[in-house]
Amino acid sequence: MFRYLWTHRAFGAVLLTLFAAGLYMKPIAAWSGLALLLFLRLTKVHSFLLIYDLTDRAARKHVRTLMTKRAHMLSPDEYGNVCEENWDKHLNTFIKKTLLPEFERRKIDHLLTKDPKQSAARLRTRINRIIDRYQPAEQAGEFDETMTGSEFELYCRNILQDAGWHAALTPGSGDQGADIIAEKESRRVVIQCKFYNGTVGNRAVQEAYAAAAFQDAPYAVVVTNSVFTRSAHQLAHKNGVLLMHHTDLPRLELMVSSGAGAR
């Protein structure tokens, strides 16, 4: 309760003013501040403030995962279209599985049942604001060995965009193995990203080849932070799949221009 009031300036300023006035002027001001606290504690106002506080804390705790998920789900497809429905569904699941149990434990979940759709929309808006607050500028950034596979895909997409490609992350299902679809001028490239500690083998090559065929793309690429096995190189050479280290992505146009990665 006090933590929420402290982090929200309007309430904090009122209480600090009242208590300071009570100390130096009249005790009645301090009692007024205490009465305000009791009012918030004994009415729905406190419960709503607690809901928002718990939502903010959960969003900040999981902000790295949430911002990565949002980047994937709100990434334009190869036609430039953005579908917000999947992201809203994901946030609804986050609210149901992460926030609601805590609301139930605090016995404040009943405040959301009167108009559940509107309540969910308000919480989604609040979570999106937290993500916006922590969202870094849209740039490739620095490579990080602790990043997740999804963050590696986002990192690779940003590099391609910086290099002038129109690069779109796929939604992760129904893409037949494609992680990124990149287009520049008349070239359409399907890219599979593999963030591994070990070596990347034949399966990645097979998946990239199949994904390119499914997406009607003449170029298939596997990009990794690691190294490829000898058999993966042999299979890629035979099937026209380009194998790359992520540091070579800025030179993708030059490489496909030379015929590399053409099926």
CATH of the domain at 205: 3.40.1350.10
pLDDT band at residue 138, thresholds of 50, 70 and 90?
Answer: very low
Report pLDDT digits (tens) over 185-211. Answer: 888 999 999 998 889 999 999 999 999
pTM: 0.55
Three-point CA angle 222, 215, 249, nearest 5°: 30
Confidence at residue 121, expressed as pLDDT on a 0 to 100 scale: 93
Residues 6+ apart with CB under 8 A from 241: 205, 208, 209, 212, 220, 221, 222, 235, 261, 263
Contact predicate 212/219, CB 8 Å: yes
Assess whether 39 and 122 both reside in one domain. Answer: yes
For the chain, the maximum distance between any two Cα atoms, rounded to a whole number of angstroms, is 87
- Of 134, 159, 185, the one marking the end of a domain is 134
Report pLDDT digits (tens) over 217-241. Answer: 899 999 999 999 999 999 999 999 9
Mean pLDDT value of segment 152-156 = 90
Q: Is residue 224 part of a domain?
A: yes
- Residue 104 vs residues 60, 97, 110, 121, 168: alpha-carbon distances, Å: 20, 11, 8, 19, 39
Q: Is residue 54 part of a domain?
A: yes
